[in-house]
Every structure is written in structure tokens, then in C-alpha cells.
Amino acid sequence: MDARGYTAAAMNPAPPAGCCIGVFDSGVGGLSVLPALRAALPDARLLYVADSGHAPYGERTEAYIVERSQHIAGFLRAQGAQLLVVACNTATAAAVEALRQAHGDIPVVGIEPGLKPAVALTRHGRVGVMATSGTLSSRKFQRLLLAQPPQVSFHLQACTGLALAIERGDLRSAELQAVVQRHCAPLREAGCDVVVLGCTHYPFAAPLIREALPGVMLVDTAEAVARQTARLAARLPPSTLDLPPLQLWSSGDPAQLSAFTLRWLEWDVEAAALP
């Protein structure tokens, strides 16, 4: 379903209800996962929380991210979520286990950098990984890295400042261009032919990243997450609540979340403040 079709659905009488899925990120990054979720689950009710008032998570402590994630998960469940999608690599690395323990009665889907698809794509055996320092230093990521074939070398780039620059919303700003250049230069010099976008904010900077890394293939995992979500959602009953197709909340500026959703996804939905 394309973005314009969805805008129409958002304004017309609701189609028959599917299940209700709660999605969250440290901010607006998880919006990059919503089109794939919508395509995989056309009838689902989607609830999205941007924790922009507490972004970026990338340089926060694990305990802080766990606490925020539990708060948001509790909120999404109270709104009717029957399945949770952690649309944030950093929050997945820090909090997905704690979320699964606290919410063992519903499925919790996380997202992690696509090292395996990158290994399948690389011809030179040199893969770059752009992610937050929180993701790259996590035990979960280190385990994922150790599971890859030894003949492939991974160049890990902790992209400090990149999610924050995207969070400001101007995808051609001088600040964003400078941050992208700074973080892409080492990957270009290392000769990486595949680069993993290991943070859900980064697909919004993909045009700039492509300019900085000509000829390099970019990998993100939104579609893989949507496929896994659809597999698990197939076991859920339709929601009994009368919900619109998409609802948005932000702990930062809700008007900004609405504006970015309209500009980037062409979905016209009014966001509310996260309590």
C-alpha cells in the first residue's frame, strides 16, 4: 500500500480491524519502519510512540533505556497493543530482554543491525556498520558480530550526533551533511562495499549517506522486522477496540512528530503528547 493510499485510509471510515501493534523508538527514527509494517499488515491498528523528549538513547545508560522502554511499553499496552515492536536498535540491545520478561504474555519484536544480509551481499569482504555507541558496545551486538564468518571484516562506526541531527528534521541541513561526511569517511577509506544502517534514524539520511559512499550498498532491516511481526501477528485475534489505523504520541513536540510523519511518509495524522 502506498503512502497516499494510507492517507486516504486514515481519513475515511476505518476498514475491518486487524490486531493492534504498539511501536516505539527513542524518537522519529522508528517512523522508517512504519511503511514496511503497514505493507505487511494492511489492516493492523498501529500505535507509535516517539520518545523524542529523551532522545538520543545512543549515549544513555542501559538502566535509563530500560526504564524508558518499560514506561512506553506499559503505555502502549494500556492503549490496546497486543504486540510490541521495538523500532530502535539501541533500545532493543539494552531492553528487549527486560521487556520480554515484563510482558511475557505478548510477543515483543526487536530490531538489530543487518549483519547477516550484509555478509550475503559483500563482494570484497568488508562491511561497515553505522550505529549508536550504545548498540555497538552492547553484549547483544557483540554476540551477533561473533556469529559472523571470520573472512568478513567489520568496520564499526559509532555515529555520535547523527540521530540527533536527523531528529531536528531538516534532512539537507549543513549540520547533518557534516555529521554524515565525518562518519562515512572512515568507511570509505576502509573500502567497505556494503554498509549496514544499524539505527532506525539513519534511513532518513540515506540520500546523504549514498552521496558520501558512492557505489556502496546500504542495508536496513525494516522489512525483516515487518515480516517477523506479520508472522507473530497472524496468531493474534482482531482488536476489539475501535481504533483508527494509526495513532502517534511524542514525549517531545507532538506537532513536530506530525509534521515529520507528513513530510517523510505522507501520512497525515495528528500526534498527541505522551503522558
**Residues forming the site for ligand DGL (CB under 6 A):** 25-27, 29, 55-58, 88-90, 132, 135, 163, 199-201
Query: What does each C-alpha distance from 125 to 116, 148, 152, 209, 249 come to in angstroms?
Result: 12, 11, 5, 20, 42
For residue 194, the minimal CB distance to ligand DGL (Å) is: 18
Query: In terms of DSSP H, where are the helices of 152-191?
Result: 162-167, 174-189
Cβ(140)–Cβ(65) under 8 Å? Answer: no
Q: Which is nearer to ligand DGL, 19 or 208 (CB)?
A: 208
Establish whether 20 is a catalytic residue: no
Strand, helix or coil at 85? strand
How far apart CA 195 and CA 213 sit, in angstroms, is 9
For residue 210, the minimal CB distance to ligand DGL (Å) is: 19
Q: Which is nearer to ligand DGL, 154 or 202 (CB)?
A: 202
Establish whether 192 is a catalytic residue: no
Of 19, 20, 159, 199, the catalytic one is 199
- Look at the block and give the residue holding cell 507528513: 262
Chain length of the chain:
275
Smallest CA-to-CA distance from 153 within 177, 133, 128, 170 is with 128
For residue 16, the minimal CB distance to ligand DGL (Å) is: 32
Q: Which is nearer to ligand DGL, 22 or 58 (CB)?
A: 58
Cβ(160)–Cβ(58) under 8 Å? Answer: yes
Of 88, 159, 184, 192, the catalytic one is 88
For residue 130, the minimal CB distance to ligand DGL (Å) is: 10
Active site residues: 88, 199
